[in-house]
Structure 1
């Protein structure tokens, strides 16, 4: 970020630097002085481009909402496209944890999820669901994504477990199923587990061939 003083600073530069700071250290680390230092410019220049800190946070929230609105379903069937929306939403939530928290703190969580929900509505309609059944399907997928992300982040932040799964899962603990014990003792592949679970959920909601 240093060296930006060699060219004319613009609003996009300021927002890029602010977003990077929030991603690395959280919203509390975002101060006007710290941002100015990151960009190698004067604090007055930051105010000129984005206003005060609240205005800057508002702009970052709008950016995050725009990013979350860029989900484009892929796949040959409604079920496949629903899974693609779920995977894309999970990726965005994982990539923007501090910014998502900022959106939530500003009471814009429902607006944040609206684009993904609308994409899901279209696909559940394509699968033949209507009314309350369609609404249940949309909400089930959304809650599954959010819940999975929360569990992932909790595991990542948890202290080292002693004993860990490798010590706890023996063949005896797994009812003498050695393959099961080895699988449960291995590190968790969160992405593979998410894909497996969301496919199972969607199949139950709309059917495998929908």
Structure 2
């Protein structure tokens, strides 16, 4: 028996769930209709055909990435908060992000996060090309880290495993380092360590810039 009522948002949420679990290839109109307890005709009425549905999912993903809101009392902490939020969203929606990329909308997808970063770079005193480089450095750091995480997750079992490769000899006599490298990677801690170090380096404003008049610092 078909459902008496259905909203567009419900259709999109169910479709996003199918893509998260099975990838874009697992999204069929019949499967979506069955999962929602409705007819294929009803799905078409709400979102159009499959291509229109995929376009709507892409727009929804872009909108989700646009909801990043910096937090923290300093520009450095707010930049780190943007990086963490961006990583989380990319991790939570890998198939949807891939769909955005396939449709040639990757730059548009990252624009809201870039704008948030631009604001914080300006607040930290960076302007012009230096601010642009800092924004891209943070973005590339996040995307690269997520790609490494995804590759590690999908890689076959390693033989020998990383923990079997390290001892005092291979660690140049550093037994503490050897022990640490035999333990599983704490990806959240490693991400924070790397992004904080990057941001700290990026936000060091040269003394000549920091002491220059506002117009000169802005490149005017």
Q: Do they superpose with TM above 0.5?
A: yes
From 63, 66, 73, give the equivalent of 1:66: 63
For 1:43-192, list aligned pairs within 5 A: 43-192=40-189
Aligned partners of 1:77 and 1:127: how far apart in 2?
8
- Residue 15 of structure 2 corresponds to 18
Query: How far did 1:13 drift?
Result: 1.4
Query: How far did 1:200 drift?
Result: 0.3
Query: How far did 1:170 drift?
Result: 0.8
After TM superposition, what 4+ stretches of structure 1 lie above 3 angstroms from structure 2? none
For the 8 Å contact 2:20–2:94, the answer to whether it is kept is yes
Deviation string, structure 1 residues 99-136 (Cα, Å, up to 9, x no partner): 00000011100000000000000000001010000000
Aligned partners of 1:143 and 1:120: how far apart in 2?
13
Number of residue pairs aligned between Structure 1 and Structure 2: 206
Gaps of 5+ in 1: none
For the 8 Å contact 1:22–1:30, the answer to whether it is kept is yes
For the 8 Å contact 2:8–2:46, the answer to whether it is kept is yes
For the 8 Å contact 1:22–1:98, the answer to whether it is kept is yes
Q: TM-score, normalised by structure 2?
A: 0.91
